[in-house]
Amino acid sequence: MEYAALCADANRDGRINISDAVYLRSYIFYGGPAPSPLSAGDANCDALINVSDIVWILNYIFKGGYAPCDSDGDGEPDC
């Protein structure tokens, strides 16, 4: 079965939650496995995988921030 990448679903479990932020933290800071595809870790559509993607996911989960890959908040994916 082929996996359809979900933006910010870094650990490929089909959901966007705290475990995706933890997965990215492991990848960025500790050399853990990369998201596959790599673009699944780019929550803010800046074409980079870095701590700002972790912050984006946490803001979305805990603060009601824009959804991953919706950098302008219009409800449509931007990347």
Do the beta carbons of residue 4 and residue 48 sit within 8 Å? no
CATH number 1.10.1330.10 given to 1-79: yes
Q: What is the pLDDT of residue 4?
A: 67
Q: What is the pLDDT of residues 12-60, one digit of tens each?
A: 999 999 999 999 999 999 999 999 999 999 999 999 999 999 999 999 9
Please state the domain extents for the chain.
Answer: 1-79
Q: Does pLDDT of 74 surpass 90?
A: yes
Q: What gap in Å lies between CA 34 and CA 48, rounded to an integer?
A: 12
Round to the nearest angstrom and report the end-to-end CA distance of the chain: 24
pTM of the shown model: 0.91
Confidence of residue 79 (pLDDT cuts 50, 70, 90): confident
